Amino acid sequence: MILIGILSVARGVFLLFPRLQIRATYLKGTLLLGLIGLAYYILRNDVLETTPIGLRLLLLGGFTLAVIFVLPRGTLSDHQKKTLLEYMDSVIIAGMTALFLIWFVVRSFYIPSGSMLPTLQINDMILVNEFVYRFYRTARGDIVVFHPPQRAQSEGKDFIKRIVAVEGDTVQIKNDKTYINGKPIEEPYRMPVQSRGALEPPGHDFDEEPVTIPPGHVYVMGDNRHNSDDSRRWGMLPSENIIGKAFLIFYPLHRMRILR
């Protein structure tokens, strides 16, 4: 926002004073000061807290190098001003579009634990579509980010799990097997049984009797079934708690892929 504001002011100066002689050195200095302020704000206030510090610094470093090497030297000519204005327009429009998408459509999310192994690794960065459930109903198999119920020990953090059953379904976990409406389902995304964690002892059944999902709720579990705090412990999840559907791993780059 700070950078977009600086570019907007600079663009206004160019438009109000078309024949103003502006040295590129001054423009570079102004933009660099803006970048320093932006870096201080991000690091001090932990903006983009779900983004690794290295990735934040890389982005800021890229902007700084662009300011130093891309802008010309000396006094800007009319042609250079026109070209610079076009670049500013592109950056401002792209920045405002990105901000709109981040706030209303797509959000990034950081994976802090192994509850979704092997689908999601610790430190993965994913994108979450916050708009999709305005048009579509939740479905079995969707990976969703949500505000956990009060009964969950979340410490104010959002959870990410997979929807196993939706409203009207009957779900039962028996002998480490998931039954939906009385029939066992295949779960190829699950962590192998031999990879157990501390949350669930071997052979333990969370649900001895079938449970029917009430309207406006879903039943969620982690893919790492033996090390996940989910609906088996704190019950059904209200659909209104769902933030959005996870659809893409985008960082680290070698793991970039569509989530299914």
Residues catalogued as catalytic: 115, 161
Residue 173: strand, helix, or coil? strand
d(CA 191, CA 200): 13
Quickly tell me which residue has 């201080």 as its tokens: 40
Report the DSSP beta bridge partners of residue 129.
Answer: 106, 245
DSSP state of 101: I
Residue 119: CB atoms within 10 Å: 20
d(CA 159, CA 21): 54
**38 Cβ contact partners less than 8 Å away, ≥ 6 residues apart:** 2, 3, 60
d(CA 247, CA 15): 42
In 111-152 the beta strands, taken as DSSP E runs, fall at 125-129, 143-146
d(CA 140, CA 241): 17
Report the DSSP beta bridge partners of residue 180.
Answer: 171, 183
What does the angle CA 255 – CA 256 – CA 259 come to, to the nearest 5 degrees? Answer: 100
